[in-house]
Amino acid sequence: MHPFPTGGQSANPIRKKRKRLTAYGPALLLPNIDGHAVDVLDHIIQAGSLYLSPIQEALEDSPGAQFLRTIHGMDALIDATNVLIYAAREHPKRRDQESIDELIQQAKATQKLIRKLDDMLPEDAFILSSDSFGPDLIAEYATNTAMLVVSRFAVGLLDYYDARFIQTKKDQRKTMMMDFRDAYRETIQDGRARLDAHQHLMKTLKTTQRALNKVMKEL
């Protein structure tokens, strides 16, 4: 699992030497549909902490725990998305409908894929009781894919936030946004590498199975 930066640690070595208190500025608060003020940038960052920060308890007895943490992260990102959409609709003259539609579509696509992965994920009891590595492999594949997809969603949200609030100077926390966008991007890179490894393994198993079937027919 990729360790998510905490305490203002930057994912970019070039920015690690900067003083965090001066690099980060005051929060920009946006109202949600209930009228509550929300720091959307911090909300997107905290979403990553829900599934990317290291945890103390062992996961051996709950193989699906990391997947569940990732769902919690996605739910937090959906909350942030709803605030951004509400803020855009409150200012129709400055609204970029195409970007809003893309944001909504990305949120729906992420939720749809996570539901499919959830359906694919074996129950913890089955994984723990199985003598085969198959259920473990499926759980690992589903979890890694979920973390990758949710992190891509987070980067999409940060890109949207960057264009509308960072670049327009409404939010001065550019370094903060860049720090955690880098962290999400590193998670995506790590996830792609693991996904490639899984796909190579599956391809090898499929080739081996075909060869084994051929030999069995000749016996």
Determine the 3-state secondary structure of 132 from DSSP: coil
pLDDT at 108: 97
Burial of 18 (0-12, 13-18, 19+ CB in 10 A): middle
Residue bearing the bigger pLDDT, 107 or 196: 107
Given a cut of 80, whether residue 12 has pLDDT beyond it is no
Question: What tokens were used for 21?
Answer: 């208190």
pLDDT at 60: 59
Determine how many CB atoms are found less than 10 A away from the CB of residue 136. Answer: 14
Query: Over the stretch 127-184, which tens digit does the pLDDT of each residue have?
Result: 888 877 778 888 899 999 999 999 999 999 999 999 999 999 999 999 999 999 999 9
DSSP β-bridge partners for residue 31: 37
Determine the 3-state secondary structure of 139 from DSSP: helix
Name the least confident of 57-61, 63-67, 99-103, 116-120: 57-61
The model carries a pTM of 0.83
Mean pLDDT of 192-208: 83
Query: Over the stretch 38-76, which tens digit does the pLDDT of each residue have?
Result: 999 999 999 999 999 877 665 656 888 999 999 999 999
166 secondary structure, DSSP code? I
pLDDT at 128: 82
Given a cut of 80, whether residue 14 has pLDDT beyond it is no
Given a cut of 60, whether residue 189 has pLDDT beyond it is yes
- Give the domain ranges of the chain: 27-193
Determine the 3-state secondary structure of 29 from DSSP: coil
